[in-house]
Amino acid sequence: MKLALRNNKDFWAGMMFLWTGAGAMFVARHYPFGTTLSMGPGYYPMVLGGMLILFGLVITFRGLRRNEKMQGPWSLRALIVLPLSIVAFGILMKPAGFIPALAVLVFVSAASGREFRFKEVLLLAVFLIVLSVGLFIWGLGLPYPLIQTG
Amino acid sequence: MNRYGKCLAAVFTLFCGLLSTGPSAASDAYPAQPVSVIVAFTAGGTTDLLTRMVSTRLSEKLGKTFVVENKPGAGGNIGTEFVVKAKPDGYTLMVNSVGPIAVNLTLYKNLPFNPITDLDPVVQIADVPNVLVVPAGANTPNLKELIAKGKAKKGGLSYSSTGIGTSSHLASFMFAQAADITAVHIPYKGADALNDLLAGRNDFMFATIPSVMPHIQSGKLLPIAVSSAKRSRSLPDIPTMIELGHPGFEAGSWFGFFAPHGTPRPVIDKLNRAVNDIIKEPSIDKQMVFAGADPVGGPPEQFKSFIDKEYKKWQKVVKESGATAQ
Amino acid sequence: MELFQHLVFGFSVALSVQNLLYCLAGCLLGTLIGVLPGIGPLATIAMLTPITFSISPVGALIMLAGIYYGAQYGGSTTAILVNLPGETSAVVTCLDGYPMARNGRAGPALGIAAIGSFFAGTVCTLVIALFGPAVAELALEFGPAEYFSLMLMGLVAAAMLAQGDMVKSLAMVVMGLLLGTVGTDVNSGWRRFSFDVAELADGIGFVVLAVGVFALGEIMANLGDSKKDGVFVAKVGSLFPTRDDLKRSSGPIIRGTLIGAFFGVLPGTGPSIASFSSYMVEKKVSKDPSRFGRGAIEGVAGPESANNADAQCKFIPMLTLGIPASGTMALMLGALMIHGIAPGPTVMTQRPDLFWGLIVSMWIGNLMLLVLNLPLIGLWTSLLKVPYRMLFPAIIVFSCIGIYSVQSNAFDLYLTAFFGVLGFLWMKLACPPAPMLLGFVLGPMMEENLRRAMLMSRGDPMVFVAEPISLGFILATVLIVIVMMLPALRKRRVAITDK
Tell me, yes or no, if C452 comes closer than 8 A to chain B by beta carbon. yes
Contact B57, B29 (CB under 8 A): no
Average pLDDT over every residue of B294-299: 91
Q: Quick one: which H or E segment has residue C111? A: helix C106-139
Is the CATH number 3.30.70.360 carried by domain B33-127+253-321? no
Neighbours of B27 (CB within 10 A): 16
Query: How many angstroms away from the CA of B326 is the closest CA of chain A?
Result: 10
Average pLDDT over every residue of B259-277: 92
Largest CA distance in chain A: 65
Lowest-confidence segment of A123-127, B12-16, B225-229, C87-91 by average pLDDT? B12-16
Phi, psi of C347, deg, nearest 5: -60, -35
Record: contact C224-A73, CB cut-off 8 A? yes
What CA–CA distance (Å, rounded) separates C435 from C97? 17
For residue B194, list chain C residues with Cβ-Cβ distance below 8 A. 322-323
Tell me, yes or no, if C459 comes closer than 8 A to chain B by beta carbon. no
What is the pLDDT at residue C159? 67
Closest alpha carbon to B99 in B122, B130, B68, B123 = B130
Record: contact C396-A73, CB cut-off 8 A? no
The 10s digit of each residue's pLDDT in B210-223 is 778 878 887 889 99
Chains in touch with C (3+ beta-carbon pairs under 8 Å) read A, B
What is the pLDDT at residue A139? 72
Say which DSSP state C387 is in.
Answer: B
Fold of B130-226: D-Maltodextrin-Binding Protein; domain 2 (3.40.190)
For residue B31, cis peptide bond before it (omega within 30 degrees of 0) = yes
For residue A143, list chain B residues with Cβ-Cβ distance below 8 A. 36, 67, 69
The 10s digit of each residue's pLDDT in B279-290 is 999 988 888 887
What CA–CA distance (Å, rounded) separates C378 from C373? 10
CATH 3.40.190.10 positions along chain B are 130-226
What is the pLDDT at residue C42? 57
Average pLDDT over every residue of B293-317: 91
What is the pLDDT at residue B20? 39
Record: contact B326-C41, CB cut-off 8 A? no
Contact B34, B66 (CB under 8 A): yes
Inter-CA distances, B168 with B183, B249, C342, C457, Å: 14, 14, 22, 21
What CA–CA distance (Å, rounded) separates C183 from C484? 34
What CA–CA distance (Å, rounded) separates C477 from C469? 13
The 10s digit of each residue's pLDDT in B93-124 is 999 988 888 888 888 887 888 989 999 999 99
Q: List the B35-39 sheet strands across, edge first.
A: B66-70, B35-39, B92-97, B253-260, B119-128, B294-295
What CA–CA distance (Å, rounded) separates C418 from C348? 49
Record: contact A143-B21, CB cut-off 8 A? no
Lowest-confidence segment of A105-114, B11-20, B153-162, C63-72 by average pLDDT? B11-20
B108 or B12: which carries more pLDDT confidence?
Answer: B108
What is the pLDDT at residue A127? 92
The 10s digit of each residue's pLDDT in B132-169 is 999 988 888 888 888 998 888 888 899 998 888 888 89
List all residues of chain A from 101 to 130 with a beta carbon under 8 Å from chain C. 102, 105-106, 109-110, 112-116, 120-121, 124, 128
Record: contact B49-C267, CB cut-off 8 A? no
Average pLDDT over every residue of A113-129: 87
Tell me, yes or no, if C458 comes closer than 8 A to chain B by beta carbon. yes
Say which DSSP state A92 is in.
Answer: H
Q: List the B221-226 sheet strands across, edge first.
A: B183-187, B157-161, B204-208, B130-135, B221-226
Record: contact B22-A143, CB cut-off 8 A? no
Record: contact A143-B67, CB cut-off 8 A? yes
> What residues pair up with B66 in beta bridges, in sequence order?
B35
Contact B259, B88 (CB under 8 A): yes
Query: How many angstroms away from the CA of A8 is the closest CA of chain B?
Result: 41
Record: contact B195-C335, CB cut-off 8 A? no
Query: What's the mean pLDDT when you consider all of chain A?
Result: 85
What CA–CA distance (Å, rounded) separates A105 from A82? 9
Percent of chain A with pLDDT over 70: 93
> What residues pair up with B131 in beta bridges, in sequence order?
B207, B226
What CA–CA distance (Å, rounded) separates B193 from B212? 11
What CA–CA distance (Å, rounded) separates B4 from C224? 53
Query: What's the mean pLDDT when you consider all of chain B?
Result: 84
CATH 3.40.190.150 positions along chain B are 33-127+253-321
What CA–CA distance (Å, rounded) separates B259 from B265? 10
Enumerate residue ranges in chain C where pLDDT < 50.
499
SS (H, E, C) chain B: CCHHHHHHHHHHHHHHHHHCCCCCCCCCCCCCCCEEEEECCCCCCHHHHHHHHHHHHHHHHHCCCEEEEECCCHHHHHHHHHHHCCCCCCCEEEEEEHHHHHHHHHHECCCCCCHHHHEEEEEEEEEECEEEEEEHHHCCCCHHHHHHHHHHCCCCEEEEECCCCCHHHHHHHHHHHHHCCCEEEEECCHHHHHHHHHCCCCCEEEEEHHHHHHHHHHCCEEEEEECCCCCCCCCCCCCECCCCCCCCCCCCEEEEEEEECCCCHHHHHHHHHHHHHHHHCHHHHHHHHHHCCEECCCCHHHHHHHHHHHHHHHHHHHHHHCCCEC
What is the pLDDT at residue B14? 46
Q: Quick one: which H or E segment has residue C386? A: none
For chain C, the straight-line distance linking the first and the last C-alpha, in angstroms and rounded, comes to 66
Average pLDDT over every residue of A42-47: 91
Query: How many angstroms away from the CA of C246 is the closest CA of chain B?
Result: 40
Interface predicted TM-score (ipTM): 0.90
**Reported confidence tier of residue A22, pLDDT bands at 50, 70, 90:** very high
Q: Is pLDDT of A87 > 90?
A: yes
Where b means 16+ CB within 10 Å and e means fewer, B109-148 reads eebebebbebbbbbbbbbbbbbbbbbbbebebeebeebbe
For residue C462, list chain A residues with Cβ-Cβ distance below 8 A. none
Q: Is pLDDT of B87 > 80?
A: yes
Q: Quick one: which H or E segment has residue C183? A: strand C183-184
Record: contact C229-A31, CB cut-off 8 A? no
For residue C428, list chain A residues with Cβ-Cβ distance below 8 A. 9, 70-72, 74
What is the pLDDT at residue B164? 82
Q: By three-state DSSP, how is residue C203 classified?
A: coil
Query: What's the pTM value of the predicted model, to 2 decimals?
Result: 0.81
Neighbours of B181 (CB within 10 A): 18
